[in-house]
Structure 1
């Protein structure tokens, strides 16, 4: 069985009027290679005629963003010409690669009508050899994403990437990665085999779960040791977790603002390229 190394509570870092908790990175944990950043926005209820999400046009290079829309919606626009509104239960996967500009805001409908909102964004690193890959964006609605049941229907797994029980995730990834959103009913349990050399990303979004006999409430990130081959999770109450695992890159990482590269020189180059207009133009 895999053992817990440390439990990391998410710190409260509001952004404008957006409730935001951030468990990674923290002063105790820089990354769970290749998982490098998580923001948990909400849960909160927006009134009618609100301003929506505050993420206007900004650049990225050298990493990927995976956005989980649990409630509410998110409108994506980028300098590659992609545009979509993804609603509750949907997922966005954006490969920033060599660089692009994007905005993540609420739809006009959400800003007018308001409603519940809960959205998480995970940053996944790219290996050095793929840092400058061509940017890409795919947004999928809930019914377009692979899902299957476990424990006599008491668990629903939304398989975003990778393979699990013969099911294939909905997004093809540049580096091998398994990633899922798991909805667990109280009393349910699952066991997953995870190779010892892979790092585990395990975040409790809602409710509480038991791992190794320890009850862990929501807004906590669990860091595991690279031991054992098996992870067992029991739901102490109705719960949602994000579970990912992948082999670490074991490369130097320099993260500064919206750029994640391998050297400080590459970070400086990213800023220069962005200022020189090499990330495309913003004409939305």
Structure 2
């Protein structure tokens, strides 16, 4: 990690916000993600565990998948399962993952690629390592984020976006000490390729040892930072953070993070997933793979799933995406 790299000296720079004009966001909380297992038994860190839903809105759930080095025969995925009412975003850092769904979406992602699935009115899908990786074993590491859909879009037709790592907008911090990959939304006027119903910004930042990253942030969005690797400090308070921790920022128009100067060779940089969005401010009724606004809608989701209205499992293999 990371898969997508670039010479920061040649990229567009994001100027550090003027502190007299853009209020720096303070740190509201830092929480440590507990470990667990997902799907058929692959390890995850539950990034949002213990964080108030109001601080996360419009986000619902996020897992750091892996980081694990599988032996031959060990790689695992998920069985076929349903979703309704939200979007799943899978960002692959190391390894390979395949996706297939009941509405014709599917592909293979690896090394900086993202798959963006809008479940909408209802979908069945599966995520798994390809057969070759199961046979050989190897490194597996990624992030999966759930983004809520507004009431007006919960029954939109399902949709799938295949976002190659090279499509992300690549930017540099003001001094060249950080590489920024804009996956969705925009940062300082530079837009990422992901198309979203709910206005959000999703950025992977790599901050070099000792470097400081200060970027503008939409004051109408919430602001979160998850530490995927490394260590450093965040906010004007310079609050210490390390791998597996989630930062919730308070109000303001700018974010700051600084990478530690003394780091292990295995994780020399501070790797952050910066995310924020416009809160939906609607009731959330969630049970397992369904996220709706009312209990009655959850009951209807179960009935529709059991009646086969989410589509059928396709008989064809997952298409390979170059």
Per the TM superposition, whether the score is higher than 0.5 is yes
State yes or no: 1:244 paired with 2:275: yes
How do 1:32-47 and structure 2 match up within 5 A? 32-47=56-71
- Counterpart position of 1:269: 300
Distance (whole Å) between structure 1 residues aligned to residue 58 and residue 114 of structure 2: 19
- Counterpart position of 2:287: 256
More strand by share: 1
Distance (whole Å) between structure 2 residues aligned to residue 213 and residue 49 of structure 1: 44
Distance (whole Å) between structure 2 residues aligned to residue 151 and residue 114 of structure 1: 40
Question: Per-residue CA shift, 1:78-117, capped at 9, x if unaligned?
Answer: 0011221111111111111111000000012211221111
Structure 2 unaligned spans of 5+: 1-23, 264-268, 316-322
Q: Which runs of 4+ in 1 moved over 4 A?
A: none
- Counterpart position of 1:174: 197
The change in CA–CA distance for 1:96 and 1:17 in structure 2 (over 3 A counts) is closer
- Counterpart position of 2:245: 220
Whichever of the two has the greater Rg, that structure is 2
How do 1:165-204 and structure 2 match up within 5 A? 165-204=188-227
Distance (whole Å) between structure 2 residues aligned to residue 55 and residue 126 of structure 1: 23
| Alignment TM-score, normalising by the size of structure 1 | 0.94
Q: Find 1:229's aligned residue among 247, 250, 253.
A: 253
State yes or no: 1:110 paired with 2:133: yes
Structure 1 unaligned spans of 5+: none
Distance (whole Å) between structure 2 residues aligned to residue 141 and residue 113 of structure 1: 24
Kept in 2: contact 1:151–1:189 (CA 8 A): no
More divergent stretch after superposition (155-164 vs 121-130): 155-164
Kept in 1: contact 2:62–2:145 (CA 8 A): yes
| Alignment TM-score, normalising by the size of structure 2 | 0.83
**Following TM superposition, by how much is the alpha carbon of 1:152 offset from its aligned partner in structure 2, in angstroms?**
4.3
Kept in 1: contact 2:182–2:191 (CA 8 A): yes
- Counterpart position of 1:13: 36
Distance (whole Å) between structure 2 residues aligned to residue 245 and residue 134 of structure 1: 25
Kept in 2: contact 1:53–1:104 (CA 8 A): no
**Following TM superposition, by how much is the alpha carbon of 1:48 offset from its aligned partner in structure 2, in angstroms?**
1.8
Q: Over aligned residue pairs, what C-alpha RMSD do you find?
A: 1.5
Aligned residues: 281
Distance (whole Å) between structure 2 residues aligned to residue 229 and residue 140 of structure 1: 28
